[in-house]
Structure 1
Amino acid sequence: MKKRTIATILTGVLLVVGLTGCGAAKQTEENEKDLLASIKEAGVIKVGTEGTYAPYTYHDDSGELVGYDVEVAQAVAEKLGVKAEFVETKWDSIIAGLDAKRFDIIVNQVGITPERQQKYNFSIPYTYTKGALIVKESNQDIKSFEDLSGKKSAQSLTSNWAKLAESYGAELVGTDGFNQSIDLVLAGRADATINDNLTFYDYVNQKPDADVKIAALSDESSQNGILIRQGNESLVEAIDAALAELTADGTLKQISEKYFGVDVSVEQ
């Protein structure tokens, strides 16, 4: 009698668990549809971005938010039939802002990494870059990434570049972004900084007399995509379709060449 009762109870528990699992899956699917639907209903997609990271996302002389990432986000929004509303956030707290649902996506040169892919969804890549090890023009001690061992590298502490510098034995000096990192290198408070090569090229175009150089470039390209919370597959698919269309019609190439002189939306 006891065995029959226990078996009955276990069967009931398993049935409840199974129904709960199905319910959770259904709820997740509904949430996915709801976010894309709510974005379209509101006519706005909220985009997290720094606003201090030229040439990707920054303010021009008139104070307007501009940049490669800004125009990509606007073009994607247009394909979705909505407008992009930007929420400017410091890099070190931008992913936390996505988690807190302060915005729907992040368009801010977020590197596609296995670690991030475990927690978030990414769009297909829209930028390919290489890591640049940047030092003062007069620096003869650092000629490769291996030479960073025991040296100070100025970095945004939560960035991929900080992890790369640390992997070569560098002591990290925390900064708010690329310009501050360069300033520390020029002031001698840091020996080097690592960032993508395109950001460096834009910097020297703006400041041709800057006393900095690239000591080394990484062998492999990094891929950057739009970051999206998990559980929003329909939004991911819509953004991927938009990026594919923007590639096919030449829009991404046009935006790339405007800011870099080359097409950074494809791997070189």
Structure 2
Amino acid sequence: MTASSTRRATALRSRIAAVGAVAVAGTLVLTGCGDQTKNSNSNPTGSSSAASAPLAAKLPASIRQAGVVKVGSDIAYAPVEFKDASGKTAGLDPDLADAMGKQLGVKFEFENGTFDALLTGIRSKRYDIAMSAMTDNKSRQNGVDPDTGKKVGEGVDFVDYLTAGVSIYTRKGDTGGIATWSDLCGKKLAVERGTVSEDLAKTETKKCTGGKKITIEAFDDDQQAQTRLRSGGADAASSDFPVAAYAVKTSGGGKDFQLVGDQVEAAPYGIAVSKENTQLRDALQAAVNALIKSGEYQKILTKWGAEDGASKESVINGGK
């Protein structure tokens, strides 16, 4: 989930058709973000043993011995991470984590949590990493509140692995004249708390004239924002493009929503790691780059309709 920073708006080609081709059959079984139940990734038995894993020696000894990387994630953000019809954690991030686990000889164990509390979970050592469609930006790297500019934590390092922008969507056939962020003045917008959608709305409403401000309704997870829009309680919603496109294609069999305007704020997704844990950070980067080199990375992105955001190489702290 992207977070705010000053970047050039970027319009990218729609991937609705590709996302739809891999829509999960049946109704998704979604968990509330406050649910802290642990869940393994989509293929928990797929990780190789440390003995046969090519990059196992790069991991910190404590994690190598435990055989598990504890992952904090908001598992209600399809198609990046979500619960499938059988209740298992599925999506782009879990698939990448599973493939990384085979390189490193460990399992990646996903634990559900609210998005805006994931970095706190790293600081408290509840999680080893956060992998949750999280945008790498300077505010998060430096532990600074983007609204106030004040220091709120130590910050984290990011292992970048994908690029994604932000989109607006409305009820199908009911755009209300909304095509850009400036068109939201005088409208109600549903977003997930702590994401760039909320931050962009806060920035945009300051530009509104004639007393027409954006009414921002922020929720704990994206599913709640979608429900608000679907029920008519908001004029539009906003989320990362892969998530918005997936919602447009799958909600109500494609009859509930439609995308409006272009993608903006293209930025890297990153795996968040404590700044103290540089060995784990570097091991994760090596695993991502191994997947890119082997072609497995491209296969996973294509499966989830995210190939337009593919990276040629994983970098550390590439966000602005």
Which residue number in structure 2 is paired with residue 151 of structure 1? 187
Q: How big is the shift at 1:220?
A: 4.4
Whether the 8 Å CA contact 2:64–2:106 is kept in 1: the answer is yes
Give the partner amino acid of 1:64: K
The whole-number CA distance in structure 1 between the counterparts of 2:309 and 2:156 is: 24
3-state DSSP class of the match of 1:195?
strand
Paired residues for 1:214-229 under 5 Å: 214-229=259-274
The number of aligned residues is 234
Q: Give the number of the structure whose alpha-carbon radius of gyration is greater.
A: 1
Task: Give distance in 1, aligned partners of 2:111 and 2:81.
Answer: 11
Change (3 A) 1:114 1:63: same
- Superposition deviation, residue 255 in structure 1: 0.8
Q: Which runs of 4+ in 1 moved over 4 A?
A: none
Give the drift of 1:263: 4.9
Q: What SS does the aligned partner of 2:246 have?
A: helix
1:122 to 148, 158, 172: 158
Other-structure match for 1:182: 226
Distance in 1 of aligned mates of 2:307 and 2:279: 32
Q: 1:261 to 1:195 in 2, by over 3 A?
A: closer
1:134 corresponds to 2:158: no
Query: Which residue identity is paired with 2:220?
Result: D
Question: 2: CA distance between counterparts of 1:262 and 1:62?
Answer: 26
Q: Structure 1 residues 262 and 62, CA, compared in 2 at 3 Å: closer, same or farther?
A: same
Displacement of 1:179 in angstroms is 2.2
Q: Which residue of the other structure, out of 164, 174, 197, is the alignment partner of 2:241?
A: 197
**Structure 1 position 254 matched with structure 2 position 317:** no
Match of 1:45 in 2: 69
Task: Kindly indicate whether the alpha-carbon contact (under 8 Å) linking 2:165 and 2:266 is maintained by their aligned counterparts in 1.
Answer: yes
Report percent identity of matched pairs: 29
In structure 1, distance between residues paired with 2:308 and 2:169: 23
Q: 2:130 aligns with which of 106, 109, 114?
A: 106
CA contact (8 A) 2:73 2:118 kept: yes
Cα distance in 2 between the residues matched to 1:187 and 1:219: 26
SS in structure 1 of the partner of residue 169 of structure 2: strand
CA RMSD for the aligned pairs?
Answer: 2.1
- Structure 1 length-normalised TM: 0.81
- Tell me, yes or no, if the aligned pair for 2:192 and 2:239 is still in contact at 8 Å: no
> Structure 1's 221 and 185: CA in aligned 2 closer, same or farther, altered over 3 A?
same
Which structure dedicates a bigger proportion of its chain to helix?
1
* Change in CA separation of 1:249 and 1:263 when aligned onto 2, cut-off 3 Å: farther
Give deviations 1:34-78, integer Å, cap 9, x for gaps: x82211111111111122111111111111111111111122222
**TM-score, structure 2 length as denominator?**
0.68
Corresponding letter in the other structure for 1:59: K
- The aligned residue for residue 58 of structure 1 is 82
Residue of structure 2 equivalent to 1:86: 110
User: CA 1:180–1:116 in 2, change beyond 3 Å: closer, same or farther?
Assistant: same
Please state if 1:206 is matched with 2:241: no
**Residue ranges of structure 1 left out of the alignment (5+ in a row):** 1-34
Q: Show CA shifts across 1:167-191 (max 9, x none).
A: 1113221212222212211222112
SS in 2 for 1:198: helix
Given residue 73 of structure 2, which amino acid in structure 1 is its aligned partner?
A: T
* 95, 101, 118: which one aligns with 1:71: 95
